Chain A
């Protein structure tokens, strides 16, 4: 397979603008980026540099003002709201800094959420949820509620939730930002394993240089532009 065919995400001339009061804000401008399949990419940059905006565009929860984003040949920038939702369900797993688990649901039920809208037999759903929780090392906590878990364990549940539909792309917005060093290292180790062992493509936004070290590639963003790429 040549490099051209091995690219999972291709962004070309991506610009994002929005109005804030009377001002026109441009968090991203004419950005070009290719992300190969199986890559573990870290995005760093100061606040307001456009990292999270780029992550939101890659995950399909926001649309570019201009430019194109293609993933596996799908023109994500051209999808409508309904098509984007269906695309997200099967192609992207989103990991939030603050986990965002539903507090009234157990770990199992939280991980099951992305599968509920699929026409999937209950047994298969159960097997996939158990496999995802096993992968993040929480088989013994699947019936615990978020309030009964540590921060690191909550983030593992959130990762299992992002993984359960088996999407090719995982996006993580400061996944270790709310964790202590030990828990953060464990999460980074898990992400590394997902990229290397499971072949997932991971794009991670972080402020933490140590977290960035875990990635295979590091990109810096400043004022909406890609400044450098370090392998």
Chain B
């Protein structure tokens, strides 16, 4: 059977599905629910991978207080900045104080990052202001540049004021960054945050360090920690993604568990499609025999059955994976833990993966019904 001939059967398979509208709609709804769950779970796994898998191109280190795991307990003297800047391989350093409204795992964590306003553009030139003004922020003591996800989640815009963790700020602008963490935080002036959160002016939570292009993250991290090994506040320095993996360990473990939900959803989809297609095949035994009498080979009959599975998978995949993408786009979900944010973003790659899987499941689930459809002798099927 040629490919073009196989494609001629697509309208027939579609019409056969439409023939039982309610059953088809219920099946598609079930597949969509399964693929919605699966795609959401995959979004979480994708977000964790993106936040924790270290790549050769990564250039950021986080300097934290040794043996501290929460922003409220990590305190480092701000004068470390100059010392770190002098270490070979360091390109840029920025002191950051972090204040969060909730140190535990939460869906609505507000994270303030206090930074010297004049240093932010130099340290993170990739940050774009998509609404409001950076100059206004630099000139306003209690101004905040908030990430686009945070702005959408809380419905905030420049000129608004909001309060969290005892810190009240006015929004100067909304930022967008290729670094997902930036899109969920509020950047404020370091001195303002130190005072508002009743921390001393001389202390920060951490330093973020950018190493030279092609630099050795490990070597620079060791050099920093050796420099402060005998200081009163020793440091522990690691790549930003390793730091995230350690700080947000609970979140990552929970996210890992959700994979089982995804697997469950996939199994449910296979069962649903197989059941639907098997029902279709059993009610059309004679009709398939008539097609065989007309000269349709076993392969064409099997393909016709498989097409129904594929079409169900396609419809359910578009609805489920597409629904998940729409939901993520509208809801802008971010998980927070110990001040680290994990953002779930709509991603065309995940949509394509969800759709591809739904098609594969549709085809796989239709294999047995396809075999059932062709194994009976034609004469026997015509008598049913």
Looking across the interface, which residue of chain A has its beta carbon closest to that of B378?
A61
Question: Which B residues are in CB contact (< 8 Å) with A94?
Answer: 293-294
B257 at the interface (CB under 8 A from A): no
Interchain CB contact under 8 A, A116 and B16: no
- With known contacts A85-B296, A165-B295, A62–B15 Cβ distance under 8 A: no
Flag if A86 contacts B8 (CB, 8 Å). Answer: no
**Interface pair A100/B2, CB less than 8 Å apart:** no
Q: Would you call A103 an interface residue if the criterion is a C-beta within 8 Å of the partner chain's C-beta atoms?
A: yes
* Chain-A contact segment, one of B38-46, B54-62, B284-292: B284-292
How many residues from B make CB contacts under 8 Å with A? Answer: 28
Known: A88-B295, A89-B294. A102 touches B1 (CB 8 A): no
Query: 1/0 per residue B293-315: CB within 8 Å of A?
Result: 11111111000000000000000
In the complex, the answer to whether B12 meets A100 with C-beta atoms within 8 Å is no
Contact A117 B295 (CB under 8 A): yes
- Give every chain B residue within 8 A of A61 (Cβ-Cβ): 292-293, 378-379, 382
Q: Mark A82-96, 1 if CB is under 8 A from B, else 0.
A: 100111111010101
Evaluate contact between B298 and A81: CB separation under 8 angstroms: yes
Q: Report if A178 contacts B (CB, 8 A).
A: no
**A206 sits at the interface (CB 8 A):** no
A30 CB within 8 Å of chain B: no
Report Cα–Cα, A88/B293, bound state, in Å: 7
Are the C-beta atoms of A100 and B295 separated by less than 8 Å? no
> Residue B18 at the A interface, CB < 8 A?
yes
Flag whether B19 is at the interface (Cβ < 8 A). yes
- Answer whether residue A161 sits at the interface, using C-beta atoms and an 8 A cutoff: yes
Rounded to whole angstroms, the CA-CA distance of A36 and B165 in the bound complex is: 98
Shortest Cβ gap from B12 to chain A (Å): 7
**Quick one: closest A residue to B381, CB to CB?**
A61
Cβ–Cβ < 8 Å partners of A114 in chain B: 294-295
Q: What residues on A are CB-neighbors of B8 within 8 Å? A: 116-117
* CB neighbours of B297 from chain A (8 A): 81-82, 85-86, 117
CB pair A116 B295 closer than 8 Å? no
Contact between A113 and B291, CB atoms less than 8 A apart: yes
Complex Cα spacing A133 to B214, Å: 75
A116 and B5: CB pair below 8 A? yes
Give every chain A residue within 8 A of B294 (Cβ-Cβ).
88-89, 94, 113-114, 161
Q: Does A201 contact B (CB under 8 A)?
A: no
Complex Cα distance A59/B294, Å?
10
Does A104 contact B4, Cβ atoms closer than 8 Å?
A: no
Given contacts A113-B294, A118-B5, are A104 and B287 in contact (CB under 8 A)? no
Query: Which of B1, B4, B15, B378 has the most C-beta atoms of chain A within 10 angstroms of its own C-beta?
Result: B378
In the bound complex, do residue A85 and residue B298 qualify as a contact, i.e. CB atoms below 8 Å apart? yes
Q: Interface residues, chain B, CB within 8 Å of chain A?
A: 1-2, 4-5, 8-9, 12, 15-16, 18-19, 286-287, 290-300, 377-379, 382
**Can you list 24 A-B contacts (CB < 8 A)?**
A56-B379, A59-B293, A61-B293, A61-B378, A61-B382, A62-B377, A82-B299, A86-B297, A88-B295, A89-B294, A89-B295, A94-B293, A96-B382, A105-B15, A113-B291, A114-B295, A116-B5, A116-B9, A117-B8, A117-B295, A117-B297, A118-B5, A119-B4, A165-B295
The 3 nearest A-B residue pairs measured at CB: A89-B295, A85-B297, A116-B8
Additional pairs, 4, CB under 8 Å, beyond known A92-B295, A109-B12: A59-B293, A88-B294, A102-B287, A117-B300
